[in-house]
């Protein structure tokens, strides 16, 4: 979904006379914090292999990841779209906190064969959990089906806000004619 937002915003900017090279000259502060927040969850499987308690690992990973992300974003609130990205991140953080530091995922809209695979993956995940009757703030969970090239995945309202914010940042930073 994020790639779609980037491509659409870049194409719109180009169509309206924007210069995508200007995106590269953005003065983004704290970028290493934001980058680290996206790479740290990749270590989740290693935490389980190392024998760490899954609940403690989920709590630590969620708190550290969102802490780094929100810290990095807070330094860039002046940039167009970043407040929207921050709001989306806060929504995802809130639903994760409310559900034992894991993002709930609905399997309802997935094809049956994928649903079985996804349920098995979620059962062993320290970052996500299957949505159920006890899920808190379920409206903020991954409950929105997103179809891309025939494959369906689930996204959250926070994910959509993040994608819109990043897309708007790329669009505005390219300075299309309508914003000069």
| pLDDT above 80 (res 137) | yes
Check residue 48 and give its pLDDT. 77
pTM (predicted TM-score): 0.91
The DSSP H or E segment spanning 148 is strand 144-148
Mean pLDDT within 108-130:
91
Residue with tokens 């974003």: 73
The DSSP H or E segment spanning 79 is none
Q: How confident is the model at residue 128 (pLDDT cuts 50, 70, 90)?
A: very high
| pLDDT above 70 (res 141) | yes
Mean pLDDT within 85-104:
98
Check residue 130 and give its pLDDT. 97
Check residue 180 and give its pLDDT. 61
Check residue 118 and give its pLDDT. 93
Check residue 50 and give its pLDDT. 87
Contact 30, 72 (CB under 8 A): yes
Return the number of other C-beta atoms located less than 10 Å from residue 107's C-beta. Answer: 17
Left (φ > 0), alpha (ψ -120 to 50) or beta: where does 137 sit? Answer: left
Quote the domain boundaries for residue 68.
2-179
| pLDDT above 80 (res 4) | yes
Mean pLDDT within 75-80:
96
Who has greater pLDDT, 84 or 146? 84
How many folded domains does the chain comprise? 1
- Tens of pLDDT, residues 26-76: 999 999 999 999 999 988 888 778 888 999 999 999 999 999 999 999 999
Dihedral through CA 22, CA 24, CA 27, CA 33, nearest 10?
150
Mean pLDDT within 78-103:
98
């Amino acid at each position: 979904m994020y790639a779609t937002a980037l491509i659409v915003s870049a194409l719109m900017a180009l169509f309206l006379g924007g210069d995508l090279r200007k995106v590269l000259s953005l003065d983004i502060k704290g970028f290493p914090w934001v980058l680290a927040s996206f790479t740290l969850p990749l270590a989740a499987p290693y935490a389980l292999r190392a024998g760490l308690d899954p609940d403690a690992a989920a709590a630590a990973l969620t708190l550290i990841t969102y802490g780094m992300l929100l810290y990095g974003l807070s330094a860039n609130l002046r940039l167009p779209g970043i407040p929207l990205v921050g709001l989306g991140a806060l929504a995802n953080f809130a639903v994760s906190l409310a559900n034992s530091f894991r993002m709930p995922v609905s399997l309802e809209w997935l094809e049956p064969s994928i649903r079985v695979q996804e349920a098995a993956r979620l059962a062993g995940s320290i970052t996500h959990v299957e949505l159920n009757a006890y899920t808190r703030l379920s409206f903020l969970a991954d409950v929105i089906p997103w179809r891309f090239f025939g494959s369906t995945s689930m996204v959250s309202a926070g994910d959509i806000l993040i994608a819109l914010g990043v897309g708007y940042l790329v669009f505005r930073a390219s300075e299309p004619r309508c914003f000069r």
